[in-house]
Structure 1
């Protein structure tokens, strides 16, 4: 009788232990499944491993892969490096714009295999590229570089009839001489500056180059709202007095002391 009780007790313990083990195993599997379900699905997308200049051939060592949530991958992204790097002996893709390290490669930013990349591909809709003849004086000493914004000032006439007028404002520079690299940050001396203009602005610019000397005025980075500017003649500068506001005229102060009294200051104009 005692043996039967012990046997039943052992069977009961075995069943209980097996139930606990099965329950823990089930919970572990369920927790793992929930953890995987909570993590968003990701895919590997191609990005720049280093800065890639405009027009430069895209080579394998310039690329890397990064994980990206599959539901938010930008349209036109590359997920397979073989779609970016050509087969041996075939022409490469090129950067249609300067690419920064870590930036995703998107089809709109790179050329097709063997496609020619020119400055035209940096222009906006219905824009034109037009060159202006410049020198060190008219191009802000060579400090104008691709990506800057400038005003264009026309100077024409002779003697006292010499005048200056701003003919274009807030114009983007897209090239200097034969360079369109926006990463250039050193002053250079060059002979032409290429700017992005509308068709109507290109006509004004063509006439202005024939009419006189064009100078560039380098703008600040702040987005300032422009207003029309009147032309200025040399005769406007040749004044009898210097251009200082009358209320800013200097004044003199006289100090008066009467015996042991305190000093009194009298201001005279």
Structure 2
């Protein structure tokens, strides 16, 4: 009996000691502060303090430094305000596109110091800029914006003989009225759309404007030019069959057969001779 009591007491002391040791370990682990997290390397990046419109001159009130992770630094970002603002007395940079508030200002977003911004700078090699007279109805409801691509459709004629034909495909819009900035999504009442064309396309477009009415069809971004649809007439839409034109058959009468020549038989003794008579004889 005494031996049993002694064993139970020893077991109780062992359990209590183990519990105390575990509790001490937990308390120590809680008292040790977590390892300090490594702060990312930061660099100052110049960002816009307000929305900057296309063509607007950039001054010191539009730019501020903002910390930015070095590993996520955008390509072409300015890290010094002196790289954006001109030296005293020099011409400023201008925004090539709309720059939103809080957006990093990149080299592609701004012009050189004193550089004049024109749509010519947006043309590709051998590109030409040409204006088309349009309205909301012919310009996809006014949703055509700079940077969009369109097909140009010519409508001409009247009545059942009215025709529509796609004359140009995948043509880039470079300006709408006097606006060459494509950031706005608000539909506008348009009067003129400027497109980029080749010299040959420009000649075709000039003729088409005089021949009839031009309409613009918006294309999906990145879609390649496909085979232009065939021209259709108004009568084609209603399935009207074209009546064959009456054909005139010309029957040529055979040339009259000349009458046989008149002859005279002359007898001289036993000789007989047939002589042809001439007219008037």
Please classify the TM superposition score into its range, dividing by the shorter chain length.
0.5 to 0.7
3-state SS of 2:204 partner = helix
Residue of structure 2 equivalent to 1:201: 201
User: What is the CA-CA distance between 1:117 and the residue it aligns to?
Assistant: 0.9
Residues 119-198 of structure 1: pairs in structure 2 closer than 5 A: 119-198=119-198
User: What is the CA-CA distance between 1:49 and the residue it aligns to?
Assistant: 2.9
User: What is the CA-CA distance between 1:69 and the residue it aligns to?
Assistant: 4.6
Go from structure 1 to structure 2 and tell me whether the alpha carbon gap of 1:227 and 1:101 turns closer, same or farther (over 3 Å shift): farther
Contact 1:96 1:122 in 2 (8 A): no
- Alpha carbon RMSD of aligned pairs, Å? 3.1
Q: Distance in 1 between matches of 2:190 and 2:222?
A: 26
Residue of structure 2 equivalent to 1:59: 59
Q: Distance in 2 between matches of 1:75 and 1:143?
A: 31
Gaps of 5+ in 2: 1-34, 242-281
3-state SS of 1:120 partner = helix
3-state SS of 2:160 partner = helix
Deviations 1:163-213 (A, max 9, x none): 111122333322221122323333332321112334443333233223322
Go from structure 1 to structure 2 and tell me whether the alpha carbon gap of 1:99 and 1:196 turns closer, same or farther (over 3 Å shift): farther
User: What is the CA-CA distance between 1:56 and the residue it aligns to?
Assistant: 1.2
Deviations 1:190-240 (A, max 9, x none): 321112334443333233223322111234568587442111112313435
Indicate whether 1:95 and 2:85 are aligned: no
User: What is the CA-CA distance between 1:131 and the residue it aligns to?
Assistant: 0.9
Q: Distance in 2 between matches of 1:130 and 1:99?
A: 27
Residue of structure 2 equivalent to 1:232: 232
Deviations 1:131-169 (A, max 9, x none): 111134322343333343322101123443321111223
Go from structure 1 to structure 2 and tell me whether the alpha carbon gap of 1:116 and 1:188 turns closer, same or farther (over 3 Å shift): same
User: What is the CA-CA distance between 1:44 and the residue it aligns to?
Assistant: 1.3
Range 103-112 or range 197-206, more displaced: 197-206
Gaps of 5+ in 1: 1-30, 242-269
Contact 1:48 1:64 in 2 (8 A): yes
Structure 1 length-normalised TM: 0.64
3-state SS of 2:208 partner = helix
3-state SS of 2:121 partner = helix
More helix by share: 1
Contact 1:55 1:118 in 2 (8 A): no
User: What is the CA-CA distance between 1:94 and the residue it aligns to?
Assistant: 0.2
Q: Distance in 2 between matches of 1:51 and 1:127?
A: 31
Contact 2:170 2:225 in 1 (8 A): no
User: What is the CA-CA distance between 1:126 and the residue it aligns to?
Assistant: 4.2
Q: Distance in 2 between matches of 1:222 and 1:75?
A: 24
Go from structure 1 to structure 2 and tell me whether the alpha carbon gap of 1:55 and 1:163 turns closer, same or farther (over 3 Å shift): same
Contact 1:97 1:122 in 2 (8 A): no
